[in-house]
């Protein structure tokens, strides 16, 4: 089990390109596998989670070639080097069409990836065969009823122990539904929309608040008949999906650690390039700006149907904030790092309406609270959020990730703001989304 030892050395200065977007990489594989013909995915996230999705479709007979891209660390003094993760790859997929999948040999292992398992449930619901889905210890603790219920209404048959993995899915003839999801979840919405591709007629999903909309955008680009109005998405089934040539932007959720570090570490100034800024993902920017952060978007553009920009951040003093409601789904993966920022803001920060954090890769309300307390922070745990009292400096400590990549990286950033050396244990999990994270951090420190 790896560990990270970290302490403040120098301000973080330079330019970087975060790794490719994880959510978009998963969806690019899925929709390419279901399209008819050859798709090319550029800047694919070559990390454990999306590779679980690749493995699943290979097991179902889809020809997928993964070419890894050589890393690029450009150094041209006096401008600070452009740091780039080593994850970007080119993936070529010969799609079999909606009905071209074959029954997998053996169980499909989704590893740590909730997105792989839940979106696959949607695809498998429409197949004329059964498949068994399993995952690692963390995934085995994550609730699947949220996808099983609507997909069962559509006609799929699931077997599981109390709605947790491993689970078997038997697909078949599906009928379209109009579903009001009790949770704002892109995984639930996407599973239903993918199953909707196998229905005669229109499938409708409405969420309490709008979650990330990458599936909708990519389905539209592939020629599906999809309409979005507010937090409702409708897809008409049985349309042939076209292959695509698409480029995945850098992942905002990975950029988030450097956005926070650049703001929190005195003297820092960072430009985070080519990053996805889909408004369903960038709650963290709005929140940090309201807290007083100096953040600017530059060079805003669109790449493969997704908004992309360069994000400039500079060290700033933050004040506490109260937040909840529609900000929650837009910020869902950024709460651990936002809590680190709150721990260093002036005054109190109160987060509510974020119960979903309890069912992520770890119970992120509990894990953030316990680890920040070890670093001297006053934290109250609420059923659906946290109250965090900011302080000027954190106390160095030995902290742990609980096998959760976003907790590991958030604590590494916290370590830069502590009064001595902090040890973060169990950091192998960082490879699920951001191989090379610490190398980039160290290079920014100069």
Instruction: Give the residue numbers marked as catalytic.
Output: 333
Per the listing, tokens 């909606």 go with 98
Q: Which of 12, 49, 11 is nearest to 29 (CA)?
A: 49
Distance CA 389, CA 321 (A): 11
**Measured between alpha carbons, how far apart are the two ends of the chain, in Å?**
27
For ligand S3P, the closer of residues 138 and 268 by Cβ is: 138
CB of 183 to ligand S3P, least distance (A): 7
For ligand S3P, the closer of residues 214 and 315 by Cβ is: 214
| Cβ-Cβ contacts under 8 Å for 442 (sequence gap 6 or more) | none
For ligand S3P, the closer of residues 194 and 318 by Cβ is: 194
Distance CA 438, CA 111 (A): 23
User: What are residue 346's phi and psi, to 5 degrees?
Assistant: -80, 125
CA dihedral 97, 28, 207, 110 (to 10 degrees): 90
For ligand S3P, the closer of residues 185 and 247 by Cβ is: 185
Distance CA 243, CA 222 (A): 7
Q: What Å distances lie between residue 63 and 22, 23, 53, 293, 305, CA to CA?
A: 21, 21, 13, 46, 25
CB of 359 to ligand S3P, least distance (A): 8
Site for ligand S3P, rule CB under 6 A: 23, 26, 115, 185-187, 190, 211-212, 332-333, 356
CB of 356 to ligand S3P, least distance (A): 6
Residue nearest to ligand S3P (CB): 23
Q: State whether residue 70 is helix, strand or coil.
A: coil
For residue 166, say if its preceding peptide bond is cis, omega within 30 degrees of 0.
Answer: yes
| DSSP letter assigned to residue 337 | H
Q: How many CB atoms lie within 10 A of CB 111?
A: 19
CB of 53 to ligand S3P, least distance (A): 10
> Is the dihedral angle over the CA atoms 345, 349, 355, 356 positive or is it negative?
negative
CB of 294 to ligand S3P, least distance (A): 27
Distance CA 339, CA 41 (A): 34
For ligand S3P, the closer of residues 125 and 416 by Cβ is: 125
| Cβ-Cβ contacts under 8 Å for 123 (sequence gap 6 or more) | 30, 34, 101, 194, 195
For ligand S3P, the closer of residues 199 and 218 by Cβ is: 218
B/e letters for 417-434, b = 16+ CB within 10 Å, e = fewer, are: bbeeebbbebbebbbbbb
For ligand S3P, the closer of residues 228 and 423 by Cβ is: 228
CB of 329 to ligand S3P, least distance (A): 7
Q: State whether residue 339 is helix, strand or coil.
A: helix
Q: What Å distances lie between residue 338 and 6, 188, 253, 256, 405, CA to CA?
A: 19, 25, 11, 9, 15
Q: How many CB atoms lie within 10 A of CB 325?
A: 11
- Three-state DSSP string of 391-406: CCCECCCEEECCCCHH
For ligand S3P, the closer of residues 24 and 259 by Cβ is: 24
CB of 271 to ligand S3P, least distance (A): 25
């Amino acid at each position: 089990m790896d560990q990270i030892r970290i302490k403040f050395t120098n301000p973080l200065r330079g330019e970087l390109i975060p790794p490719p977007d994880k959510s978009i990489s998963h969806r690019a594989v899925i929709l390419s596998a279901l399209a008819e013909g050859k798709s090319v995915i550029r800047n694919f996230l070559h990390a454990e989670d999306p590779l679980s999705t690749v493995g699943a479709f290979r097991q179902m007979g889809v020809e997928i070639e993964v070419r890894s891209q050589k890393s690029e660390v450009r150094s041209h003094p006096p401008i600070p080097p452009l740091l780039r993760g080593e994850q970007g790859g080119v993936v070529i997929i010969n799609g079999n069409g909606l009905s071209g999948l074959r029954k997998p040999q053996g169980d499909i292992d989704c590893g740590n990836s909730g997105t792989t398992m839940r979106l696959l449930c949607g695809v498998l619901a429409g197949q004329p065969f059964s498949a068994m889905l399993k995952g690692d210890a963390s995934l085995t603790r994550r609730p699947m009823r949220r996808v099983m219920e609507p997909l069962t209404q559509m006609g799929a048959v699931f077997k599981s122990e109390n709605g947790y993995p491993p689970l078997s899915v038997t697909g078949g003839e599906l009928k379209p539904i109009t579903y009001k999801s009790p949770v704002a979840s892109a995984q639930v919405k996407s599973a239903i929309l993918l199953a909707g591709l196998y229905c005669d007629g229109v499938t409708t999903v409405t969420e309490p608040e709008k979650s990330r909309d990458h599936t909708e955008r990519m389905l539209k680009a592939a020629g599906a008949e999809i309409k979005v109005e507010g937090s409702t998405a409708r897809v008409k089934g049985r349309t042939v999906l076209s292959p695509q040539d698409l480029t995945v932007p850098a992942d905002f959720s990975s950029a988030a650690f450097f956005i926070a570090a650049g703001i929190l570490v005195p003297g820092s100034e960072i430009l985070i390039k080519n990053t996805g800024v889909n408004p369903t993902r960038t709650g963290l920017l709005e929140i940090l700006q309201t807290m007083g952060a100096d953040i600017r978007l530059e060079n805003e553009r669109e790449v493969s149907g997704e908004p992309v920009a360069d994000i400039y951040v500079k060290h700033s003093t933050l004040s506490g904030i109260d937040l909840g409601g529609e900000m929650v789904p837009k910020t869902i993966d950024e709460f651990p790092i936002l809590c680190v920022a709150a721990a260093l803001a002036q005054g109190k920060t109160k987060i509510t309406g974020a119960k979903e954090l309890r069912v992520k890769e770890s119970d992120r309300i509990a894990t953030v609270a316990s680890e920040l307390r070890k670093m001297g922070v006053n934290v109250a745990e609420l059923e659906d959020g946290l109250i965090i009292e900011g302080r000027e400096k954190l106390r160095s400590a030995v902290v742990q990730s609980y096998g959760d990549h976003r907790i590991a990286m958030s604590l590494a950033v916290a370590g830069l703001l502590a009064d001595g050396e902090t040890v973060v244990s169990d950091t192998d999990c960082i490879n699920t989304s951001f191989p090379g994270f610490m190398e980039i951090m160290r290079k920014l420190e100069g």
